[in-house]
Structure 1
Amino acid sequence: MKQAGFFDIEERLARLSGLGDHLEAFFRTVDCPDLEQTLAYSVGSKSGRPPFDPVLMFKILVIQTLNNLSDERTAYLINDRLSFMRFLDLGLSDRVPDATGLARQAVKAVAQGSSCALDTDVHEGEAAE
C-alpha cells in the first residue's frame, strides 16, 4: 500500500461527487435556512460530555432513513465512509456518536420537529436534472 498523499482525500471526494454522491444531491434540495434554530434543544445537565450538535444528529437521521440503518451500523459507516463524513461536515479526527449516543440524541433532535421543505423533484435521494 502506498503512502497517503496530501490531496488524496480531496481527490477521492471530488471523484465521489463526479460519480453522483446521493447525499450531496439530497442536501442541495433541502430548503432549511433556519435548520439550526429549528432543531436547537436545551443542554440540560451540565455534567458529562457535551451533546452533539442537533444539525449533525438530524443529518445522521437522514442517513439512517435513506439507507435503512440501525444505530450500530450507522456509527460504523460514519467512521468508514468519506461520503457520510462529508455530508455530516466531519473530519477524520472528529468525534462520532456511538450507537447509544445516536439513539439518545436522535430523540432530542427530532422532538423539536422541522419545517424543512424538500424539492418536489427529488426521488430516492437523487435530484432531477
Structure 2
Amino acid sequence: MAHRVIGQERLGFADHRRTASSLDEIGKLIDWQPVTALLDALYSATKGELAWPPLAMFKALLLSIWYDLSDVKLAEALDDRASFRRFCGFSGSEATPERTAFVRYRRALVAHGLDVALFDAVAAQLKARAVTVKVGTLVDATIIASASEDDVDGRWVKHKGKSAVHGFKAHIGADATTALVEKIAITPANVNDGRAGPDALPDDPGEVFADSAYRGNHFGDAVRAKGGTPRIVATGMWGRDETETLARLAAWNRPIHRVRGRIEKIFGTWKRCYGLRRMRWRGLAKAAVQVHLTAIAYNLKRTLSIVTVAA
C-alpha cells in the first residue's frame, strides 16, 4: 500500500512575498510524527493508484472544518490557495486531491476507528503547550442535528420550549482554565446528560462544574472515583426561612454558573464557525469522527491563541 510523495517543490514556497498565515503557526504547534504514525495504515485510493499521504489528508479535513468547506469547496481551495497547500505539505505546482479522495479517506478513518486515538494524541501535546495548573473541568453536552431524519442511529429529543430535534449529542469535558477539550463522548440525542457524563470526564478532573442535568449519584460518584469534586447546579435547598434558603441557593449556584458558562463558547464556536450545526454524514461512527475532528481543530486554534497571548 504505497502513498504518493508530495512537496518536492517545497523550495518554491521560500518566496518572501508570500502572505503570512495563521496556518503556518498552527503547523508548528505540535510534532506531527505521532499523528503520522497513527494514520500510516490508511490507504484511501482506488485499486492500482497511489494514495495521498494520510497526514496531508488529515490536515485537509481540519481545513474543511476551520473554513466550513464541503468536499467540493475543499478540493477547489486546496488547489488554489498557497497557505492551504503549505499547511498540507503540497508544493506550489503539483496536483492536489479531488473531492472523492476525501470521501474515501473519511471512510478509512471510520473503518479503522482512529478518531479517538487522533484526538488523544493531539490533545496531549496541546495540553503540554498551554501550561497551566489544573483547577477544574467543565462538563456539558450539546445536541447536533443528524444529516437526515432517516439516520437510524440518531434519536429524537425535545426540550421544553424548543422544537424536537433528531440527531446526536456530544458530551465533553474541558479544562476550566484553558477551555481546551480533554474528553468526548458521542451518543444518540435522547441519552441523559448525567448518564453519559462519566464518559466525558478526564483523569484527575479537579472541581467539576456542571448544570442540574448532572445531579444524582451516578455522575457524582464517577467524579469522586476519579479524584474530583462535583460542583453541580442545585435547583432547590431545604430551609425554614424562604428568603435565607433562596439566598443560600443563589450563593451556591452563582460561582458554578460563572465558571461553566465558558463551555457555551466552545459549543458556539463549533456550531457558528465550524459548521457543526448539523452532522455531515450518517451513522454514530461517522458522527463521532466529525465531532472529534472538530474538537481537534478547535483545540489547535485555541492553543494558538493561548501561546500567542503568553508570548
TM class, shorter-chain normalised? 0.7 to 0.9
- The reply to whether residue 98 of structure 1 matches residue 104 of structure 2 is no
The 8 Å contact of residues 85 and 91 in structure 1, kept in 2 or not, is answered as yes
Aligned with 2:122 (options 102, 116, 123): 116
- Structure 2, unaligned stretches of length 5 or more? 1-11, 131-177, 179-300
Deviates more, 1:41-50 or 1:99-108: 41-50
Secondary structure in 1 matching 2:83: helix
Post-superposition shift, 1:76? Answer: 0.4
Instruction: Return the alpha-carbon distance in structure 2 between the equivalents of residues 46 and 80 of structure 1.
Output: 24
Judged with a 3 Å threshold, the aligned counterparts in structure 2 of structure 1 residues 28 and 58 are, in CA distance, closer, same or farther, namely same
Q: 4+ runs of 1 displaced by more than 4 Å?
A: 124-127
Judged with a 3 Å threshold, the aligned counterparts in structure 2 of structure 1 residues 57 and 92 are, in CA distance, closer, same or farther, namely same
The 8 Å contact of residues 75 and 99 in structure 2, kept in 1 or not, is answered as yes
Structure 2 counterpart of 1:77: 77
Instruction: Return the alpha-carbon distance in structure 1 between the equivalents of residues 45 and 70 of structure 2.
Output: 27
- Structure 1, unaligned stretches of length 5 or more? 1-6
State the percentage of identical aligned residues: 23
RMSD, aligned CA: 2.8
Deviates more, 1:68-77 or 1:45-54: 45-54
TM-score of the superposition, structure 2-length normalised?
0.33
The 8 Å contact of residues 42 and 54 in structure 2, kept in 1 or not, is answered as no
The 8 Å contact of residues 44 and 104 in structure 2, kept in 1 or not, is answered as no
The 8 Å contact of residues 52 and 105 in structure 1, kept in 2 or not, is answered as no
Judged with a 3 Å threshold, the aligned counterparts in structure 2 of structure 1 residues 12 and 39 are, in CA distance, closer, same or farther, namely same
Deviates more, 1:26-35 or 1:117-126: 117-126
Instruction: Return the alpha-carbon distance in structure 2 between the equivalents of residues 68 and 98 of structure 1.
Output: 17
Secondary structure in 1 matching 2:105: helix
Deviates more, 1:65-74 or 1:37-46: 37-46
Counterpart residue identity of residue 57, structure 1: M
Instruction: Return the alpha-carbon distance in structure 2 between the equivalents of residues 32 and 42 of structure 1.
Output: 16
After superposition, the C-alpha distances for 1:4-51 in whole angstroms (9 at most, x for unaligned) are: xxx7971232xx22xxx1111112223444121111125488833121
Structure 1 counterpart of 2:16: 11
Greater strand content: 2
After superposition, the C-alpha distances for 1:56-80 in whole angstroms (9 at most, x for unaligned) are: 1111011111111111001000111
The 8 Å contact of residues 39 and 54 in structure 1, kept in 2 or not, is answered as yes
Which of the two has higher C-alpha Rg?
Answer: 2
Instruction: Return the alpha-carbon distance in structure 1 between the equivalents of residues 83 and 114 of structure 2.
Output: 27
The 8 Å contact of residues 79 and 96 in structure 1, kept in 2 or not, is answered as yes
Secondary structure in 1 matching 2:64: helix
Structure 1 counterpart of 2:29: 29
Counterpart residue identity of residue 17, structure 2: R
Instruction: Return the alpha-carbon distance in structure 1 between the equivalents of residues 15 and 86 of structure 2.
Output: 10
The 8 Å contact of residues 66 and 125 in structure 1, kept in 2 or not, is answered as no
